Each structure stands twice: as structure tokens, then as C-alpha cells.
Structure 1
């Protein structure tokens, strides 16, 4: 399977999160382009990379940019609850920040550590670095749907969502070759994420668990 792997690594949530979220368990496939690899790997010196200068939005948050041939589409962003909408927006930004690091070829981007923290950040750095070391990126469109936010107190939240990777593919930067293959059930992934609101009011993704091929996300 040549489709790009799960965007974030499969990490164990806290016991509280596991009770709060729908049970799905982490995907324990071996590392490959069709697996949820990079679970809590040691990032070594790569985590200390200097942030890449970036533009900021009107509210002071780092501006995330994608190349013209890649796109993430997030559905269900408006719930009618302003707090839940903020959580879903920051969850989406955390995903975009990981992809931006891949596109820019640097794990020191400002947005990566702005929207991700703890285990999620360490894993995201390792994940992006694998792309960078392989001189790979991705192209196409990934759709995120059935996104739901659940509050647990004033500063803790959980988000569940599905991804559709049937139209996104690995692309080699050097050759420009796009590695395509037909969509399968493994093109759809279920995520459960834990988020914490920091002192600056940002809902940072701190833990995440994923299941590739989950029946809940199949078309």
C-alpha cells in the first residue's frame, strides 16, 4: 500500500481518556506506509531544532501554509457551542502543523509546538522527521469528518474523528514521483485525541490513539 500513513502516531491515552472516549485501541502494525508507526519514539536531538520564522494571524497565532498540491479538509467544525468550536479548530490546527513540518522539511516550525505538546509533540516530531529523512512529502486531499468534542472540566477535552486518506499520496521530493494505489478499508482511520488548554488559551493536543481500517469510519 503506497498511500501516506496516519498523520499522527498511535499513543496510549490516560486512563481517564480511555474511559471517556470510545474504545478503539492503538494500531500496532509494523512501521510502513500503511501503518500507524512512530509510537512514542525517542526523538534525540531533533526536538531541539530552532523554530522556523513564520507569519502570524491577526490573533498572534502562527500562520500555517501548505503547498498548492496538498489540502486537508475538516468537516463538522461548527457545533453551536463556542468552546467546542475552539477545541475542534485547535485540533485541526494541530494536524495541519504536523503536515506543515513535513512540507517545510523541518521539525522546528513554530506551529508544531504551538498546537501539540507532551507525547503528541514528541511523536509528531519523530513522524515528520521520517518523511524528511526519506525526502518524501505528500500530495492530494485528506478529509477529516465525524469530528466531535467532549469537555472534561475547564481545561481538558477529548476529540474523536475519522480521516479519509483515499485521495492523498506519498510524493518523493527529488523525483516528483507520486506513489498512487487504489483505496482500501485501511485508507480510513479513527482517532481519539486528548487536548489541554494552556495558559495562552490554546487547546494543545497532548495524547492521541488511532485505529486504521476502523469500521466506524468506512464509507
Structure 2
């Protein structure tokens, strides 16, 4: 049994379903578009804390992201020293947080979801989130993101690759609030993500596609 399903590319949902999830409460990634390879290739309201990363002073009005108590993302590596790369990594972090918020927080709207994802990435995010709601599950714990790299593509887009460790997260029943901590660590807790981001007209680096390798050897300790 997986403690937390890995985010996989999927186009199972319609655009209407995506809009419903992003606008009305509780889903990521697809294939690379344009033929260009990506480099590296419930019930009740939750108490919320952990605001989204502090946005750079770029004048962009961003939706606030707050995760429930006990849900946390750890992004290793810090700044790169390159302002453009750091802006891309920051929007990648916000996108990950927006998906976790849509899974773990019961709210009327989750505007950050469609703010940081578009295209195939938004479709698969919606599918991922919907899977939790269908099973009546959410999760708690800390997710680690590491070995993060930014590569600029010829088209003006960028690729962000990173590893994800969910071994310290645990499934939680939406109805009872019971957390299952009995699941042992396994290879399935480690995944490698290869994402494409494009800067939109508002200056946001939106993720447009995601390729995922589950049980990734390169990400295991």
C-alpha cells in the first residue's frame, strides 16, 4: 500500500472538472509539449498554517497558500544566486504547495492551483487531487524536495528537475481524522520529477507539463 500516491501525468479529466476542483475545493503533470524534450529527462474545515513562500518584490499579486498544521514541504538547496533561476524555483515551490493545499484543506476555492499550473500539468494535478477525495483520504507529515536543478530551454521555457521523498508522510482519513502510521518505508516513497515551466503574461512561471519516475533509484538514500 502506498502511503501517498505519486503525482503522475494524466489527461483523464475534462477542462470543466479541472475548473471545478481549482475553484471549489479539491489535482498535476503531462507530457512535454511542442515536441521539445524536458531537460534531464472532505468533512469540516482544517486549521491552516504555513503560508506560501514569501514572494519576491515583483509587484505580482499572488493567492495565499496555507497548509494545515502537520503538513509541511521541505525544499533543500536554497537560492542559486541567479535571480531568474530563483524565481523559477520559487514558483515551482508554490505550485507544489498549491496541490498539497487542494488535497489537505477543505475550502470553497483553491485559486492557487490554476495560478501556478496550466495545460497538461493542471489536468494531471486535478486528477491527482480528485483521487484523494474519492478515497476519502488526505495526508499529514513532511515531504522533502531535493537535488533541484533549473535548465533554460531554447524556446524560453525552463525545466525544473527534482527528487521527492514522501517517506515521512502518512495517509489520514478525511472523516475520522485517523492517521495510519503503520506503512513502512519503501522504494515507492521516492520519485523523480521532470517539469516544464513557461512564463505567462502576468510574470508567473507556470508548470505546463510533468514527467515522473516512480521508485527512482537516483533519489533513494
TM-score by length of 2: 0.78
Q: Which runs of 5+ in 1 are unaligned?
A: 12-38
Q: 1:151, 1:158 within 8 Å by CA — same for their partners in 2? A: yes
Partner of 1:104: 105
1:59 Cα deviation (Å)? 4.0
Report what 2:77 is aligned to: 76
Summarize the Cα distance change of 1:122–1:106 in structure 2 as closer, same or farther, 3 Å threshold: farther
Please, which of 198, 211, 214 is the counterpart of residue 213 of structure 2? 211
The alpha-carbon distance between structure 1 residues 87 and 44, as it changes in their structure 2 partners (threshold 3 A), is: closer
C-alpha separation between the residues in 2 aligned to 1:150 and 1:48?
30
User: Which SS does the other structure have where 2:63 is aligned?
Assistant: coil
Going from structure 1 to structure 2, the CA distance change for 1:66 and 1:143 (only over 3 Å counts) comes to: same
Partner in structure 2 of residue 21 of structure 1: none
Q: Which residue of 2 aligns with 1:4?
A: 4
Kindly report which structure 2 residues correspond to 1:9-158, keeping only aligned pairs within 5 A, or say none. 9=8, 11=9, 39-43=10-14, 45-49=16-20, 51=23, 59-105=60-106, 108-153=109-154, 155-158=156-159
Structure 1 vs Structure 2 CA RMSD: 2.3
Matched residues, number: 189
Give the TM-score, by structure 1 length: 0.79
Inter-CA distance 107–190: structure 2 relative to 1 (3 Å threshold): farther
Q: Is the 8 A contact 1:101 1:112 kept in 2?
A: yes
Distance (Å, rounded) in 1 between the aligned partners of 2:143 and 2:115: 22
Does residue 188 of the first structure (1) align with residue 190 of the second (2)?
Answer: yes
Instruction: Indicate if the aligned counterparts of 1:120 and 1:206 stay in contact, CA closer than 8 A.
Output: yes
CA apart distance, 1:154: 7.0
Q: Distance in 2 between matches of 1:205 and 1:114?
A: 10
Deviates more, 1:88-97 or 1:171-180: 171-180
For 2:13 and 2:172, locate their aligned partners in 1 and report how far apart those are by CA, in whole Å: 26
Distance 1:43 1:216 in 2: 34
Shift of 1:104: 2.4
| Paired residues of 2:68 and 2:105 also in contact (CA < 8 A) | no
Shift of 1:138: 0.5
Change (3 A) 1:193 1:178: same
Deviation at 1:179, TM superposition (A): 2.1
